[in-house]
């Protein structure tokens, strides 16, 4: 459920990466995989994988979300796998969102656009969506990289 950039910074051993924004495209592969073994969905904190589990359940695919995500896994002393070669230094999506949102709010204050920015943040909270994370996930450093694996 993580972006390829996040996945490359460390993931559960044996994990296959399907970012949340590509979940629909991977439904057939996920349905097939779920028939062979239980699916464990993982993201950085557990929030995106929880949303993905709900989406998959609505499509008849059973899956479980790892509470606490890779942060919780690593904090509990479990190892993270890394792709071969140098580790790409990519900020976590949450950090990218905070930086971009803060920059936009600051720019909005300077340009007098604060009301529209605040409205977007309220809408994001009410709908429990993050359009900014979707946009940031499509930037080059968050796209397919060495650590991104296609489902089998």
Taking only the tens place, the pLDDT of each residue in 68-104 is: 999 899 999 999 998 776 656 677 777 888 899 889 8
Q: Which CATH number fits domain 4-142: 3.40.250.10, 3.30.2350.10, 2.40.50.100, 3.50.50.60?
A: 3.40.250.10
Contact predicate 31/61, CB 8 Å: yes
Cα–Cα dist 88/91, whole Å: 10
Q: What does the CA dihedral 43, 125, 58, 27 come to, rounded to 10 degrees? A: -50
In 10 A of CB 10, how many CB atoms? 20
Q: How distant is the alpha carbon of residue 82 from its chain centre?
A: 17
pLDDT at residue 30 above 80?
yes
- Of the candidates 48, 52, 51, 53, the residue with the CA atom closest to the CA atom of residue 64: 53
pLDDT at 146: 47
> What tens digit of pLDDT does each residue of 112-129 get?
777 777 888 888 888 888
Cα–Cα dist 23/109, whole Å: 36
pLDDT at residue 152 above 70?
no
Q: Is 107 left (phi over 0), alpha (psi -120 to 50) or beta?
A: alpha
pTM of the model: 0.58
């Amino acid at each position: 459920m993580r972006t390829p950039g996040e996945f490359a910074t460390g993931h559960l051993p044996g994990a296959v990466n399907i970012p949340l924004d590509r979940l629909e495209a991977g439904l057939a592969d996920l349905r097939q995989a779920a028939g062979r073994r239980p699916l464990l969905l993982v993201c950085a904190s557990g929030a995106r994988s929880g949303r993905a589990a709900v989406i998959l359940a609505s499509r008849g695919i059973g899956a479980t979300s790892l509470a606490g995500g890779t942060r919780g896994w690593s904090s509990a002393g479990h190892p993270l796998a890394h792709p071969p070669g140098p580790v790409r230094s990519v900020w976590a999506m949450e950090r990218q969102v905070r930086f971009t949102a803060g920059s936009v709010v600051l720019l909005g204050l300077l340009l007098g656009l604060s009301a529209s920015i605040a409205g977007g943040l309220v809408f994001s909270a009410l709908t429990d969506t993050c359009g900014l994370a979707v946009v940031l996930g499509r930037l080059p450093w968050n796209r397919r990289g060495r650590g991104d694996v296609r489902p089998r």
